[in-house]
Amino acid sequence: MPLTAAEPENLHAAAAVLMDAESGRVLFEKNGTEKLPMASTTKIMTLLIALENADPDGIVTVSSRAASMPEVKLHIREGERYRLLDLLYSLILESHNDTAVAIAEHIGGSVEQFAFMMNQKARDLGCFDTYFITPNGLDAQDEHGIHSTTAKDLARIMRFCIRNEEFLAITRTASHTFSDLDGTRNFTVQNKNAFLNMMDGVLSGKTGFTGNAGYCYVCAMESGGKHLISVVLACGWPGNRTWKWQDTTKLMNYGLSDFEIKTFGDEIPVLAPVPVRNGRSSKISLSVTAAPKELLCRKEDTFSMDILIPDTLTAPVTAGEMMGTVVYYLNGSILDLFPITACEDIPAIDFRFIFQQVTEKWLPGTPPESH
């Protein structure tokens, strides 16, 4: 791999994103907010919902609707019973559409209710340009729109998914063998995500294809302390199966070679005491609540800092109260904010305080005799 890589050019994908998985910052995008169908990359959300809401040892009974799904499918049959975990491997390793529906009906009670759960989770993750209709990613449309996402949103979803160890374990499994609970049918599913073996450090990924979506791929990897997520959508149609691998390789190489880990927030400013108006003390000490943070940056990126506090504060002031802000900038744009807080209580001057001060000054004891 070269020591540096130019910003990805001539990508086949209609939309693409490279994201720093630690911070969520987008390092590169091409049409990152364009809404597009995402095919079976949908299934990372299906898996996430299942892992968060169901017992993996739960028993799934196959419905006629699930059994009727088109290829790619496991060919499960109506009335058959399976362990949920086994169907999750089928869902991810070979992207079976029938098991996706069986899983959705088992957890949500219906495909429609499961889609509601998917959409709610997307909103919770800040993905407001994503709309799920199906659990398998087949092309679909209803009165609210088409089954779709954006490259940015899909990267956000994957960023959350890879925090789940069960998610990582399933998506990285090479093969899985299981049977229905009656023991009459045996299956072995093989992981079809070829990119797992194309680059060192790949953590997870999911492919997808439909007639409307084209080839899609979402990938997560870790190398040299860098955690990256890439997304390509509408990356060619039949005859161009390898384009998604080419684009993903370009994106990941760019992230690995052209970015380095930099730290900010490690130099905590020492703040001078600030005058306090109408307070029982004339000055107050302030502190910055901050912790060092790491960020993937280009080598030429620069940090700067600004301290925003009033020239004078007015009592009363409570310890821990926010008095100002330390602003960190990356290349002149706001990157992060750290609060500046009061170190002590400063009550306001009142009549009782004034009376006490006068008494202590003028009546400390017996006044001297006059001559």
Q: Which of 95, 148, 204, 230 is catalytic?
A: 95
Is-catalytic flag, 90? no
221 & 302 share domain:
no
190 & 296 share domain:
no
pLDDT tens digits, one per residue of 125-160: 999 999 999 999 999 999 999 999 999 999 999 999
53 & 198 share domain:
yes
List residues forming the annotated binding site for substrate.
206
131 & 241 share domain:
yes
Interstrand relation of 313-314 and 274-277 (parallel, antiparallel or unpaired): parallel
pLDDT tens digits, one per residue of 8-52: 999 999 999 999 999 999 999 999 999 999 999 999 999 999 999
- Would you call the peptide bond into 70 cis, given omega within 30 degrees of 0 as the criterion? no
Q: Closest by alpha carbon to 45, among 119, 112, 113? A: 119
The verdict on residue 144 lying in a domain is yes
Q: Which of 40, 90, 148, 204 is catalytic?
A: 40
The verdict on residue 6 lying in a domain is no
Which pLDDT score is estimated for 292?
86
List residues forming the annotated binding site.
206
Q: Closest by alpha carbon to 179, among 83, 270, 262, 312? A: 83
The verdict on residue 106 lying in a domain is yes
Looking up residue 176, the CATH number of its domain turns out to be 3.40.710.10
Which pLDDT score is estimated for 290?
77
Structural domain that includes position 320: 265-351
pLDDT tens digits, one per residue of 68-116: 999 999 999 999 999 999 999 999 999 999 999 999 999 999 999 999 9
Domain total of the chain: 2
Q: What is the DSSP string of 306-343?
A: EEE--SSEES-B-TT-EEEEEEEEETTEEEEEEEEEES
Is-catalytic flag, 43? yes
237 & 120 share domain:
yes
Is-catalytic flag, 95? yes
Q: What is the mean pLDDT of residues 252-276?
A: 91
pTM over 0.85: yes
The verdict on residue 87 lying in a domain is yes
Which pLDDT score is estimated for 365?
56
pLDDT tens digits, one per residue of 178-190: 999 999 999 999 9
Angstrom distance (rounded) from CA 279 to CA 283: 8
Interstrand relation of 186-190 and 59-61 (parallel, antiparallel or unpaired): unpaired
| Contact yes or no for 307/268 (Cβ under 8 A) | no
**Residue whose entry in the numeric block shows the structure tokens 């990267």:** 155
186 & 302 share domain:
no
Angstrom distance (rounded) from CA 55 to CA 34: 36
